[in-house]
């Protein structure tokens, strides 16, 4: 299995990232994609990916929350970083109208600029969309035939949004959101609609600790070592063998991000 969404640059991992990686390996996680969320974090993500070469890779980009930081300098630095060997995708990028930490205009500008970088460098996309589905699709669609694939990470949307994403050829990242008995049930029911070759799995660590994990870590921190718990939940809902699903979803990640 492969964890496509780990915020390893989070301050929550500052003291023990090596232990976190070792625990992930011991739990059967065969690789990790470290999420870059702004220029500074993308630089750090690339450094960590280089440090744990052949186990970790990284994305480089600016999250919609950080879109107000986007300028010409960001664009050229992101493109430079993206050309280095440990960076395998542009992102996370997209739109998040849930909290609007950056204005919608700023978000749309930063997203479109990153779509252009992905097309120019021929890199896949690591996408984020929350409460912005129609604008997100409208901006993304014209670029899709110029970009070598994309995953919509941490999908938590509705059935028609899932169907539209799949119809456009996107892969879908599923987190431990589906382990949340309060708000994950709708998503759980959609899981069988995702063709296995389009499915990827992720913890989004340190966020989204699976709510039904027993025992829960006292830190309340999510880690890649809890990915097997998510694989089990998703496989059970889809009526598949967890070991098989873990391998299939890992193959999907390695194919999209062109990993050895
Ligand atoms: Zn995200």
pLDDT per residue as tens digits for the range 137-181 = 999 999 999 999 999 999 999 999 999 999 999 999 999 999 998
From ligand 1's centre to the CA of 235, what distance in Å? 23
From ligand 1's centre to the CA of 1, what distance in Å? 20
End-to-end, the C-alpha distance of the chain in Å comes to 14
At 89-144, the pLDDT tens digits run: 999 999 999 988 999 999 999 999 999 999 999 999 999 999 999 999 999 999 99
Residues near 242 by beta carbon (within 8 Å), at least 6 away in sequence: 228, 231, 232, 235, 236
From ligand 1's centre to the CA of 62, what distance in Å? 11
Exposed / middle / buried, residue 31 (Cβ in 10 Å: 0-12, 13-18, 19+): buried
Indicate the Cα dihedral angle 36, 38, 40, 41, nearest 10°: -30
From ligand 1's centre to the CA of 46, what distance in Å? 18
From ligand 1's centre to the CA of 35, what distance in Å? 9
From ligand 1's centre to the CA of 96, what distance in Å? 9
pLDDT number for residue 65: 96
* pLDDT at position 260 over 80: no
In Å, how far are 71, 112, 138, 168, 203 from 142, measured between CA atoms? 22, 10, 8, 11, 30
Q: Which two tokens stand for residue 154?
A: 């941490």
Q: What value, to the nearest 5°, has the Cα angle with vertex 213 and ends 211 and 215? A: 125
Residues near 237 by beta carbon (within 8 Å), at least 6 away in sequence: 178, 188, 191, 192
| Rg for the chain, CA atoms, rounded | 17
**Main-chain phi, psi angles of 88, to 5 degrees:** -120, 0
* Residue range 3-256, CATH number: 3.20.20.140
Q: Mapping DSSP to helix (H, G, I), strand (E, B) and coil, where does residue 56 land?
A: strand
From ligand 1's centre to the CA of 210, what distance in Å? 16
Peptide bond into 167 cis (omega under 30): no
Proportion of the chain above pLDDT 90, given as a percent: 97
From ligand 1's centre to the CA of 94, what distance in Å? 9
From ligand 1's centre to the CA of 44, what distance in Å? 17
């Amino acid at each position: 299995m492969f964890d496509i969404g780990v915020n390893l640059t989070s301050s929550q991992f500052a003291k023990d990232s090596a232990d976190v990686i070792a625990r992930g390996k011991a739990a059967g996680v065969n690789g990790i994609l470290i999420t870059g969320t702004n220029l500074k974090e993308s630089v750090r993500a690339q450094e960590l990916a280089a440090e744990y070469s052949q186990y970790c890779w990284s994305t480089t980009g600016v999250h919609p929350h950080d879109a107000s930081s986007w300028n010409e300098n960001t664009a050229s630095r992101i493109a430079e970083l993206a050309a280095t060997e440990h960076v395998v995708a542009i992102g996370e990028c997209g739109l998040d109208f849930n909290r609007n930490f950056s204005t919608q205009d700023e978000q749309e500008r930063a997203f479109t600029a990153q779509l252009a970088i992905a097309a120019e460098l021929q890199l896949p996309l690591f996408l984020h969309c929350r409460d912005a589905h129609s604008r997100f699709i409208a901006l993304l669609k014209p670029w899709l035939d110029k970009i070598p694939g994309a995953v919509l990470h941490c999908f938590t949307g509705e059935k028609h949004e899932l169907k539209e994403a799949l119809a456009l050829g996107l892969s879908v990242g599923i987190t431990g959101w589906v382990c949340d008995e309060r708000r994950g049930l709708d998503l759980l029911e959609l899981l069988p609609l995702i063709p296995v070759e389009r499915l990827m799995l992720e913890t989004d660590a340190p966020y989204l600790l699976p709510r039904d994990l027993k025992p829960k870590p006292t830190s309340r921190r999510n880690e890649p070592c809890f990915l097997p718990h998510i694989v089990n939940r998703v496989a059970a809902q889809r009526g598949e063998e967890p070991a098989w699903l873990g391998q299939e979803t890992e193959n999907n990640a390695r194919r999209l991000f062109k990993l050895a």
